[in-house]
Homo-oligomer: A and B are copies of this chain.
Amino acid sequence: MSRMNRRGSKSSADATAKIRAIGQRATPGRVRVLSLLGTVPRGLTHQDIETALARSGEGPMDRVTLYRVLDSLVSAGLVLRQADESRVFRFSAAGQAEAHAAHAHFRCDGCGRVFCLEAPPPAAPALPDGFRLSRMSLDLRGACRDCAAKRRAG
């Protein structure tokens, strides 16, 4: 760890590289957000991220700037955005979702976490003539154990 200076950790360097790779400027905001999302295995809300950044050593980030940072990462394909059950957006690092594209996953509508399932790959259905298939995914949605319990409780 002695080689890590105040500019950041390995995940920062990693994030910087990814952002540059897709031709965008590696600003502090983008690097901070992308490396944060890379360390967390589930979708975070804008507010989650804002809070986490404010607590971190480098201080808070403007609300609007954070929205715009997220927009740019999403449109670059580095981050995924989806609306959860209570209609707030959840953001997650794209690599984490795509790495698991081979098998089925379960997404909790409550907390946004994604669970991988050991499912047999379903056979691809017949496509209309001329169509070309590039990817196929079996997506299950519902409530994970924690959220299902929470909802029953009240």
Contact = CB atoms under 8 A, between A and B. Distances in A.
Interface of A: 82-89, 104, 106, 109, 115, 117-120, 122-145, 148-149
Given A87-B88, A131-B106, A148-B130, A140 B122 contact: no
Given A85-B83, A87-B83, A87-B88, A127 B148 contact: no
A145 B128 contact: yes
A106 to B, nearest CB: 7
How many subunits of this chain does the assembly comprise? 2
A142 B132 contact: yes
A148 B122 contact: no
Contacts of A104: 125
A10 to B, nearest CB: 32
Nearest to A127: B106
Nearest to A121: B122
A91 to B, nearest CB: 13
